[in-house]
Amino acid sequence: MLYLDNAATSFPKPESVYQALDKFARTSLANPGRAGHAMAVAAERTIDDARHTLNQFFRGESPDRWIFTLNCTDALNMAIKGTVNPGDHVITSDLEHNSVSRPLCALEKAGTITLTRIASHGGYLDPEDVRKALTPKTKLVALTHASNVLGTVQPIDAIGTIVREAGALFLVDAAQSVGVVPIDLKASSIDFLAFPGHKALYGPTGTGVLYVGRRTKLRAWREGGTGGDSSSETQPTQYPYFLEGGTPNVLGIAGLAAGLAWVNAQGPDNLRRHEVALLAKVVEWVESTEGWSVAGKWDPDTHVGALSLIVPEPLTPQELGGILDSSFGIAIRPGLHCSPYIHKRLGTFPDGTLRLSPSPFTTVADIDAFIGALAEITAGVI
Ligand SMILES: Cc1ncc(COP(=O)(O)O)c(C=O)c1O
Nearest of 371, 357, 364 to residue 305 by alpha carbon: 357
Atom index in ligand 1 nearest the CA of residue 9 equals: 14
| Cα of 198 from ligand 1 centre, angstroms | 10
Contact 222, 69 (CB under 8 A): no
| Cα of 381 from ligand 1 centre, angstroms | 34
For 207-265, what is each residue's pLDDT tens digit?
999 999 999 999 998 999 988 778 889 999 999 999 999 999 999 999 999 999 999 99
Same fold, 15-266 and 267-378: no
Ligand 1: does its nearest atom lie under 6 Å from the Cβ of 6?
Answer: no
Calculate the CA 322 to chain-centre distance: 25
Nearest of 15, 1, 13, 28 to residue 254 by alpha carbon: 28
For 335-348, what is each residue's pLDDT tens digit?
999 999 999 999 99
Ligand 1: does its nearest atom lie under 6 Å from the Cβ of 339?
Answer: no
- The torsion defined by the Cα of 258, 260, 263 and 265, in degrees rounded to 10, comes to -70
CA–CA separation, 41 vs 256, rounded Å?
Answer: 19
pLDDT at 33: 79
Residue 276 CB coordination number (10 Å): 22
- Tell me the domain boundaries of the chain: 15-266, 267-378
| Cα of 74 from ligand 1 centre, angstroms | 10
Q: What residues contact residue 293 under an 8 Å CB cut-off, 6+ apart?
A: 286, 309, 310
pLDDT at 344: 96
Taking the CA atoms of 175, 106, 69 and 236 in sequence, report the sign of the dihedral they define: positive
Nearest of 147, 212, 137, 205 to residue 175 by alpha carbon: 147
| Cα of 208 from ligand 1 centre, angstroms | 10
Q: Which of the listed residues 97, 149, 177, 256 should we mutate to test ligand 1's pocket, taking the one with most ligand atoms within 8 A of CB?
A: 97
Atom index in ligand 1 nearest the CA of residue 75 equals: 11
Taking the CA atoms of 77, 80, 82 and 87 in sequence, report the sign of the dihedral they define: negative
| Cα of 149 from ligand 1 centre, angstroms | 11
* Three-class secondary structure of residue 48 per DSSP: helix
Atom index in ligand 1 nearest the CA of residue 205 equals: 10
Q: What residues contact residue 161 under an 8 Å CB cut-off, 6+ apart?
A: 189
Phi, psi of 122 (to 5 degrees): 65, 20
For 166-195, what is each residue's pLDDT tens digit?
999 999 999 999 999 999 999 999 999 999
For 78-101, what is each residue's pLDDT tens digit?
999 999 999 999 999 999 999 999
**pTM of full prediction above 0.95:** yes
Q: What is the DSSP code (8-state) at residue 202?
A: -
**Which residue's alpha carbon is at the smallest distance from atom 7 of ligand 1?**
72
**CATH number for the 15-266 domain, one of 3.30.1180.20, 2.40.110.10, 3.40.640.10, 3.40.50.10480?**
3.40.640.10
Atom index in ligand 1 nearest the CA of residue 71 equals: 10
CA–CA separation, 167 vs 208, rounded Å?
Answer: 27
Q: Does domain 267-378 have CATH number 3.40.1520.20?
A: no
C-alpha angle with apex 380: 377 to 381, nearest 5 degrees? 65
pLDDT at 382: 62
**DSSP string spanning 272-331?**
HHHHHHHHHHHHHHHHTSTT-EESS---GGGB-S-EEEEPPTT--HHHHHHHHHHHH-EE
Nearest of 161, 164, 173 to residue 304 by alpha carbon: 173
| Cα of 199 from ligand 1 centre, angstroms | 9
List the beta bridge partners of residue 209. Answer: 68, 195
Identify the band that residue 35 occupies on the pLDDT scale cut at 50, 70 and 90. Answer: confident
Q: Which residue has the higher pLDDT, 231 or 59?
A: 59
Atom index in ligand 1 nearest the CA of residue 173 equals: 3
Ligand 1: does its nearest atom lie under 6 Å from the Cβ of 196?
Answer: yes
C-alpha angle with apex 74: 182 to 140, nearest 5 degrees? 70
